[in-house]
Structure 1
Amino acid sequence: MNKTCVPSGVELKDTGFGYTLSLIAGKYKIIIIYWLAEKKVMRFNELRRSIHTISFKTLSVMLKELEAEGLIIRKEFPQIPPKVEYSLSERGLSLVPLLNMMCEWGEQNRLDT
């Protein structure tokens, strides 16, 4: 890499790297993106079951933030009981190669203990 992501004298938040981190930062956002990339479409409780350690409120907040950032699509069906599905938007799908690179890096660099 010839060009640095965070040149000296530039604040992290003012870089592409900082912007990307601001979108996926947090304990669960990247995990939600991962599951939606794997399953394509998921309902709220299905996501909650897949992420064993997430609370109802936290998942709700994370989904709202990801939707506001344009990374996921929330589709509500007008029926009783209400049905809502989540999927990755085109913008969210553009993060999948980054997830794949993280996976490959982890497989190559993890220390088997």
Structure 2
Amino acid sequence: MAKSKSLEACPVYKTAMILDGKWTILIFRDLLANKVVRFNELRRSLGSISPKTLTERLTELEDQGLVSRKVYAEVPPRVEYSLTEKGKGLSAVFDSMAKFGDKWLR
């Protein structure tokens, strides 16, 4: 079944598609809280996420222009992730989610 034209034009739908995926919201949570995060810091924070899944999610977010990846020429290699301006634009969504959770889910 094809998506309807009105669904494709819906900004709520488009934003939900960005946040779709098992770990995406928690990756955003950590990047919003910590500004710059290394790969292994994200892994530890997220608990049971596999390195492959984390790499896939970060790559998807980078491809969408939401996450920036910076590689340092060091041994061992150091890679840091941060939100782009576009990614930071989602902070209000997460603020609202936190307020909802504090009020209704405690």
Q: TM-score, normalization: structure 2?
A: 0.90
> Which of 11, 23, 29 is the aligned partner of 1:28?
23
Q: C-alpha separation between the residues in 2 aligned to 1:52 and 1:62?
A: 15
In the alignment, the residues of structure 1 paired with residue 57 and residue 30 of structure 2 have an alpha-carbon distance, to the nearest angstrom, of 13
Structure 1 segments (4+ residues) deviating >4 Å: none
Amino acid corresponding to residue 44 of structure 2 in structure 1: R
Identity fraction in percent: 41
**How far, CA to CA, are the matches of 1:99 and 1:66 in structure 2?**
16
Partner of 2:14: 19
Deviations 1:67-93 (A, max 9, x none): 001111000111221110000110111
Structure 2: which 5+ runs fail to align?
Answer: none
Q: Which residue of 1 aligns with 2:74?
A: 79
Equivalence for 1:106: 101
The unaligned stretches of length 5 or more in structure 1 are: 1-8
Instruction: State TM-score, norm by structure 1.
Output: 0.85
SS of 1:67 mapped into structure 2 = helix
SS in 1 for 2:74: coil
Higher helix share: 2
3-state DSSP of counterpart to 1:53 = coil
Is the radius of gyration larger for structure 1 or structure 2? 1
Q: Which residue of 2 aligns with 1:37?
A: 32
